[in-house]
Amino acid sequence: MSASVTITERGSGTQRKGRRSGGGKPEGAQADSQKSHSTATGALNWLVVPALVLFLVFAIVPLVGVLVLSFTDWDGIGAINFNGVENWLRYFSDPSMYKALGLTFLIMVLTWVIQTPISLLLGTFTAGSQKYRALLAVLYFLPLLLSSAAIAIAYKALLDPNFGLAAGLHMPILAQDWLGQPQLALGVVIFVVSWQFIPFHTLIYQGGVRQIPKSLYEAASIDGAGRVKQFFYITVPQLKYTIITSSTLMVVGAVTYFDMIFVLTGGGPGNATRNLALDMYLTGFKANQMGQASVTAVILVVLGLGIALWLQRLGGKDKNGSQLEGM
């Protein structure tokens, strides 16, 4: 962050402080900034057209389509017949739906609990300027270069009880029924998801940590704070918005998690790893019940949007707020 930005932030910071005590929204500040750009916005509005059209065609139109289809018994091939709320009633009376929903939340929570601390620590570690850290950062980054399908196929081969890792390393302890026992299979899924995405979140945290001004740490060490205290009282609070961003990506990603699980377990054994997104695919494209699958799709959209909004709320309504107040 450059010096000039810090100065302006300081200015708006004090202004905002005054308004917050008065209970008003920072509308004045927004209007100010719009006025100063008003000549440019007219032309800029047009630049939004391609993106808006793409968004309309590939996001809004299908979304409405799915909503309509959720009231039909379409099999993907024949005629589309409306059957009222039948799909919705069947959906909410189906115990396997609650299982899939519960599983989706379980995967979401567990992957978040595992990924966040590890990414935060790795991010803080790799943010240092030492050479060996840069080298390690590159290594940590590797899983991100692989596609989900490739990762799933590789893990499937590694976990094969007869010809996998156990045989290769001569370690019989590794010859478990990894993908055959419900709990183990779920554990494997959560492990592989974390393994795949920790590098990405590490990268986000690394960027976040590098933005924290050195002067904060200098001041803290003069005051006698050790590395652990600096981490908890400076690094973590300063990363508030980074944590929210990373968590939003993790949680919303977990809701729609599909490709890796599809290739790795196909939802099995039984229904042990069949989360909502996979359930939607299997119902729609394997069992040919597009109407029923559309119900799941609508629920996924609502769930994903709801959670994302809730997480944004956690960050406070005041998006323009600075974490560098008083600097």
Partner 1 sequence: MEHKTTSRRSFLTLAGLAPLAVWGLSACGTSGPGGDSGAAGSASMWSLTGPPGETIRKNSIDTFNKANADTQVKLTLFQNDAFKTKIKTAIGAGEAPTMIYGWGGGGLKSYAQANQVLDLTSWLEENPKVKDKLFPSAFGAATIDGKIYALPNETVAPIILFFNKALFEKAGAQPPKTWDELMALSKTFNDLGIAPISLAGQSRWTSMMWLELMFDRVGGPEVFNDIFAGKANAWSNPAAIEALTKIQELVSANGFIKGFNSITADSNADQALLYTGKAAMMLHGAWTYGGMKADGGDFVPGGNLGWVDFPTVTGGKGDAKNGVGNPGQYMSISSKATAEEVDTAKKYFAEGLLSPAEVTAWIESGAVPIVVGIEDQLAATEDKDFLTYVYNSAKDAPNFQQSWDQALSPTAAEALLNNIDQLFTKSITPEKFASNMDATIGK
Q: Would you say 94 or 318 has its CB closer to partner 1?
A: 94
With CB under 8 A as the contact rule, the residue among 150, 157, 305, 309 that binds partner 1 is 157
CA within 13 Å, CB half, 266: 6
Of the candidates 247, 237, 277, the one whose C-alpha atom is nearest the C-alpha of residue 260 is 277
Are 293 and 310 in contact, with CB atoms under 8 Å apart?
no
Q: Closer to partner 1 at the Cβ: 209 or 280? A: 280
- Taking contact as CB under 8 A, which single stretch among the options 124-132, 138-146, 171-179, 210-218 is the one that binds partner 1? 171-179
- Number of neighbouring beta carbons within 10 Å of residue 100: 22
Instruction: Provide the minimum distance between the beta carbon of 93 and partner 1 in the complex, in angstroms, as a whole number.
Output: 13
Residue 164 · residue 179 · CB < 8 Å: no
Q: Judge whether 87 and 291 are in contact, CB under 8 Å.
A: yes
Identify the residue whose tokens are 């997480």.
Answer: 311
- Out of 21, 46, 224, 226, the only residue in the binding site for partner 1 (CB under 8 A) is 46
Position 213 contacts partner 1 (CB under 8 A): no
DSSP 226: -
Considering the complex, state which of residue 85 and residue 154 has its C-beta at the smaller distance from partner 1: 154
* Contacting range for partner 1; rule: CB under 8 A; set: 47-55, 102-110, 132-140, 232-240: 47-55
Binding mask 259-298 for partner 1 (x = CB under 8 A): ------xxxxxxx----------xx-xxxxx---------
With H, G, I as helix, E, B as strand and everything else as coil, classify residue 72. Answer: strand
Which three-class secondary structure state does DSSP give residue 297?
A: helix
- Residues lying near partner 1 in the complex (CB under 8 A) are found at 34, 38, 41-42, 45-46, 49, 52-53, 56-57, 61, 75-79, 156-157, 159-163, 175-182, 265-271, 282-283, 285-289
